[in-house]
């Protein structure tokens, strides 16, 4: 029985490590590489912590298994009488604290880039692309209106008559930093873009800016990550990253749809029938 239990405490960490190692093959891992460079830096920090943590995990579990095996197979009449070792205590206090301090300080600049406004790219900070308002249980999106050249105007904090509205469908241009103003209409929500490694709570009474620079075209999931009621799970929306021209065309179509008064011109009808 001794052998069984010693094996048991050695077997499970091995199983855990093997399981973790094969997980990416089974797609039990990140939903693809990050769409933003900042997200890739977050992934890199994750892998750095993962390496350190795996080393410590293996080290401590092996040590535990070893001392269990030694202690359960002890032939000595008496256990080793010791109250500890001052030197060991010093070593295993100082070494982890250096590693931990390094880990903490090493994280700071990514956090600052993500969240501290003075680190935001200036072009994004000055021209938010859209305002996203979370409410039970949908994402309302407000783009600024377009001027006579079809160029988006400045997004005002208060709604303007020519603003463009849509729900659960956020379009952004690729390749430049974009900023979103996040708000909530009712309770707390959280704006979660898993493929971009972005999450930010929407807090009632606050407007919180988020910026990101998407580098890959495509449709990505937008989900709510803060409990907001029974329909929390179904706040499903999409983020569509497209080329600048497509984005501008999208806004113009949005304007056309919004201004559509029911009296369709023949050309528009023909277009619809196609």
Partner 1 sequence: MSATGVALEHGHDHDHAHGAHGHHELSFVKKYVFSTDHKMIGMQFLFTTLLMMMVGGALALGVRWQVAFPWTSMPLFGPLFAESGGQISPEFYTMLFTMHATVMIFLVIIPVLAGAFGNFLIPLMIGADDMAFPVLNMLSYWFMIPAIACFGLSFYFGGAAAGWTAYPLLADIRAAAPSSGSAQTFWLLGVTFVGVSSMMGSVNYMTTIINMRAPGMTLFRMPLTIWAMLITAILQAFALPVLTAAGFMQVFDRLDFGGPLEGIHTVFFIPAGLVVNNADPTVGGGQPLLWQHLFWFYSHPAVYIMLLPAMGMVSDMLACMCRKPVFGYKPMVFSMSAIAGLGFIVWGHHMFISGMNPALGMTFMLSTIMIALPSAVKVFNWIGTIWGGRLQFNTVTLYCAAFISMFIVGGLSGIFMAAVPVDIYFHDTYMIVAHFHYVVFGTTLFGVFAGIQFWYPKMFGRKMNETLGKWHFFLSFIGFNGAFFPMHMLGIAGFPRRYADPYIHPYLEHLMPLNQFITVSAIIMGFGQFLLLYNFGTSWFLGEKAGRNPWGANGLEWSAPSPPGHGNFDVPPVCYRGPYEYSNPNNPDQDFWMQTDPPKSKKKPEGDAGHGH
Applying the rule CB under 8 A, the residues between 208 and 227 that interact with partner 1 are: 208, 221, 223-227
Which CB atom, from 166 or from 200, has the smaller least distance to partner 1?
Answer: 200
List 144, 177, 194, 214, residue binding partner 1 (CB under 8 A): 194
Instruction: Establish if 64 lies at the interface with partner 1 (CB under 8 A).
Output: yes
Q: How many residues does the chain have?
A: 274
| Least gap, CB of 40 to partner 1 (angstroms) | 11
Which CB atom, from 156 or from 271, has the smaller least distance to partner 1?
Answer: 156
58 neighbors 13 (Cβ within 8 angstroms): yes
| Least gap, CB of 229 to partner 1 (angstroms) | 5
Using the Cα atoms of residue 111, residue 115, residue 117 and residue 122 in order, give the sign of their dihedral: positive
What DSSP letter does each residue of 114-140 carry, written as one string?
HH-GGGS-HHHHHS--EEEEEETTEEE
d(CA 256, CA 162): 11
Instruction: Establish if 84 lies at the interface with partner 1 (CB under 8 A).
Output: yes
Instruction: Establish if 252 lies at the interface with partner 1 (CB under 8 A).
Output: no
CA 93 to mean position of chain CA atoms: 33
238 neighbors 169 (Cβ within 8 angstroms): yes
Instruction: Establish if 271 lies at the interface with partner 1 (CB under 8 A).
Output: no
Binding mask 108-147 for partner 1 (x = CB under 8 A): x-xxx-xxx-------------------x-----------
d(CA 183, CA 175): 25
d(CA 142, CA 171): 11
| Least gap, CB of 217 to partner 1 (angstroms) | 17
Task: Kindly report the number of other CB atoms within 10 A of residue 106's CB atom.
Answer: 12
Binding mask 144-183 for partner 1 (x = CB under 8 A): ----------------------------------------
List 232, 240, 248, 255, residue binding partner 1 (CB under 8 A): 232
Which CB atom, from 163 or from 226, has the smaller least distance to partner 1?
Answer: 226
Instruction: Establish if 25 lies at the interface with partner 1 (CB under 8 A).
Output: no
**Binding piece for partner 1, criterion CB under 8 A, among 56-64, 167-175, 243-251, 260-268:** 56-64
Instruction: Establish if 101 lies at the interface with partner 1 (CB under 8 A).
Output: yes
Residues 6 or more apart whose Cβ sits within 8 Å of residue 124: 176, 177, 178, 179, 211, 213
Strand order of the β-sheet with 178-184 is 164-167, 138-143, 130-135, 178-184, 208-212
Instruction: Establish if 260 lies at the interface with partner 1 (CB under 8 A).
Output: no
């Amino acid at each position: 029985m001794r052998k069984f239990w010693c094996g048991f405490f050695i077997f499970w960490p091995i199983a855990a490590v093997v399981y973790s190692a094969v997980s990416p093959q089974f797609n039990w891992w990140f939903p693809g590489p990050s769409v933003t460079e900042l997200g890739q830096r977050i992934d890199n920090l994750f892998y750095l912590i993962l390496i350190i943590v795996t080393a410590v995990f293996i080290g401590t579990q092996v040590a535990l298994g070893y001392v269990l095996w030694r202690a359960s197979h002890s032939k000595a009449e008496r256990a080793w009488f010791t109250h500890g070792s001052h030197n060991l205590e010093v070593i295993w206090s100082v070494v982890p604290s250096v590693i931990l301090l390094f880990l903490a300080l090493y994280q700071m600049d990514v956090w600052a880039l993500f969240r501290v406004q003075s680190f935001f790219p200036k072009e994004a900070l000055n021209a938010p692309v859209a305002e996203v308002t979370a409410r039970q249980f949908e994402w309302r999106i407000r783009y600024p209106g377009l001027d006579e050249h079809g160029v988006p105007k400045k997004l005002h904090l208060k709604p303007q008559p020519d603003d463009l509205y849509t729900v659960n469908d956020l379009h952004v241009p690729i390749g430049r930093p974009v900023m979103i103003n996040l708000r909530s209409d009712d309770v707390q929500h959280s704006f979660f873009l898993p493929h971009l490694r972005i999450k930010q709570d929407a807090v009632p009474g606050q407007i919180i800016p988020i910026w990101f620079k998407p580098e890959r075209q495509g449709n990505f999931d937008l989900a709510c990550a803060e409990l907001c009621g029974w329909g929390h799970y179904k706040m499903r929306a999409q983020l569509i990253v497209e080329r600048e021209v497509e984005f501008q065309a999208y806004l113009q179509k949005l304007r056309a749809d919004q201004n559509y008064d029911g009296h369709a011109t023949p050309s528009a009808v023909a277009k619809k029938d196609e």
